[in-house]
Structure 1
Amino acid sequence: MFDPTAFENMKVVMEGGFYDRDLDGEIRIVDRNDIINSAKMSRRYDITFTDNAEGLAEIFCTFTMEAGLDNLAAELLPKVQSEKLAGCRISVNFTIKHQKDPQVFQEIREVLRQIWGSGRKIEQTVKYNVENMKAPAETETVISFKRLVHEEQIDDLNEMITYMAASIKALRKIQI
């Protein structure tokens, strides 16, 4: 029998939280990936969901959790590494299709800053087809946390699902 890693414990708790909300009809899960990279000895878990708003613009949220060899070694070999490295990197990504309007880009950023706080790193990337200017743009906004998340913070991590669902609801109010 083996002792699960912090990554595995956090993944199971988050996955349960997402699927509970999916079963309750609060969100709709559309994709999930659980990747083990044996070349780099790293793990990555992501799950993508949306709300149940029918006929409205596409807004997706992807929760990503990553741990590398340094994180695993810190946990399994505490004498060799600092236990401060025993955790995961977390990011939350919102993907929105909308009209090509610079005001919309700013509104998306401001809505997410109000919900997630100014202490988070928020980066936006906008993609659009230059050959078809009538086609919608796609904004990808990534919220990064400037520190590792540790297993002791597992309850806070699960609470993030509420923030993600609230973010989608708030983004729906933008005229996109």
Structure 2
Amino acid sequence: MFDPTIFDNLKTVVEGAIYDLDISDESIAVVDRSDVVDLAKFTRAYALSFQLRHAHQVTCTVSLQMTLQHIANELLYEDVARAGCTVTVSFSFSAINVDCVQVEQTLKHIWGEHRTVIQTLTYTYPTEERYTHQVMIDFGRTINESHIDDLLHMIPYMIRSLEQLQRYAM
């Protein structure tokens, strides 16, 4: 048996809440999951991707990352205030014509004006006619178990974002 870290506890809560929506509520469908331990850098990364069950054009991915410094802060009591992990929420979809300003405004309306929205467009020349649009919401801070309710409250925002971003996807 091991003593779970903040990362493990947050991962369990997020995973359980999202899978509950997939299985019991059936409003979303989980489409991918990744749980990586990098022994070379001593980092952890967890990502869970899902889509609206009735619309598959946009994918939401919620990610948790724990660095060596995060775990040292937690286990060695170096800086307990900075112990924890980081969370990001991203959305991806294909589009022919992307209005990045409109996408940013849509997400800031849902998530709040103070959120950082980072958009990346990729295009494979000459074979692709569509862009892959990746939008990430960065919260810019370390979270811990005191933020569990915040994480759970973010899930309806993720679903609302999926619904709103459908109009930009092709």
TM-score (ref. length: structure 2): 0.93
Letter in 1 for 2:65: E
- Check 1:152–1:142 CA distance in 2 against 1; reply closer, same or farther (3 A cut): same
RMSD over equivalenced CA pairs, Å: 1.6
Shift of 1:100: 2.5
- Residue in 1 aligned with 2:4? 4
What's the counterpart of residue 53 of structure 1? 54
Q: Which residues of structure 1 form unaligned runs of 5+?
A: none
- 8 Å CA contact 1:105, 1:139 repeated in 2: no
Alignment of 1:148 with 2:133, yes or no, is no
Residue 29 of structure 1 pairs with residue 23 of structure 2: no
Residue matched to 1:171: 165
Q: 1:109 aligns with which of 104, 108, 118?
A: 104
* Cα drift, residue 172 of structure 1: 2.0
Q: CA deviation digits over 1:17-65, x for unaligned, max 9?
A: 01000012111110000000111111100011110124x6x21111110
Q: Does 1:120 align with 2:105?
A: no
1:153-172 deviation line (CA, Å, top 9, x unaligned) = 11111111111011001112
Correspondence 1:19 to 2:19: yes
Secondary structure of the 1:40 match is coil
Displacement of 1:146 after TM fit? 1.3
Cα distance, 1:66 vs. partner? 0.2
Deviations 1:58-88 (A, max 9, x none): 211111100111111111111xx11112111
Counting matched residue pairs gives 169
Shift in Å at residue 110 of structure 1? 1.2
> How many Å apart are 1:150 and its aligned residue?
1.4
Unmatched 5+ stretches in structure 2 = none
Q: Compare the two structures and name the one with the higher strand fraction.
A: 2
Task: Provide the residue aligned with 1:98 in structure 2.
Answer: 95
TM-score, normalization: structure 1? 0.90
**SS in structure 1 of the partner of residue 21 of structure 2:** helix
Preserved CA contact (<8 Å) 2:94 2:169: no
Letter in 1 for 2:13: V
Letter in 1 for 2:4: P
